Amino acid sequence: MIDRLRRMRESRLMLPTLLLLLGGISYGSLFTANKIAIDAGFPFIAYAFWQALFASAVLLVLSAIFSKPPSLRRENLRVFGLVAVFGFLGPLLVVTFVADRLPPAVLTLCAALIPATTYTLTLVLRLDRLRWLSVAGVLLGFGGIVLIVVPTGSLPEAGAWIWVLFSLLMPLSAAVNNVAGARFSPVGVSALALAGGMMMVSALLLLIAMLAEGELFLPTDADPSGLWGLLWATAGQAITYSCFFEIVRRAGALFFAQLNYVVVAAGIFWASIFFGTALSHWVWAAVAVLVASLVLINAGTARGLREQAARYEAERSDQ
% of the chain surpassing 90 pLDDT? 11
Per DSSP, helices labelled H in the chain are 2-12, 14-39, 44-66, 74-82, 90-97, 104-111, 114-124, 132-149, 161-167, 169-184, 191-212, 224-251, 253-256, 259-275, 281-318
Single-letter code of the amino acid located at 287: V
Q: Looking at residue 86, what DSSP letter applies?
A: I
* Cα angle: 6, vertex 7, 9; to 5 degrees: 65
In angstroms, the CA 254 to CA 248 distance is 8
In angstroms, the CA 51 to CA 282 distance is 34
Q: pLDDT value at position 1?
A: 42
* Cα angle: 135, vertex 304, 170; to 5 degrees: 50
| CA neighbor of 284 nearest in space, from 124, 41, 108, 137 | 108
Q: pLDDT value at position 231?
A: 93
Residue 129 backbone dihedrals phi, psi, to 5 degrees: -90, 155
- Record the pTM: 0.71
Residues in the chain where the model's pLDDT stays below 70: 1-13, 104-105, 108-109, 112, 127-128, 134, 138, 141-142, 144-161, 252-254, 257-258, 260-261, 265, 275-280, 282-283, 287, 290, 293-294, 297-319
> Across the chain, what does the average pLDDT equal?
77
Task: Please give the tally of structural domains in the chain.
Answer: 1
Which domain range does residue 63 map to?
2-318
Dihedral sign of CA atoms 178, 182, 185, 188 in order: positive
Q: pLDDT value at position 73?
A: 81
In angstroms, the CA 17 to CA 217 distance is 39
Q: pLDDT value at position 224?
A: 84
Residue 127 backbone dihedrals phi, psi, to 5 degrees: -95, -5
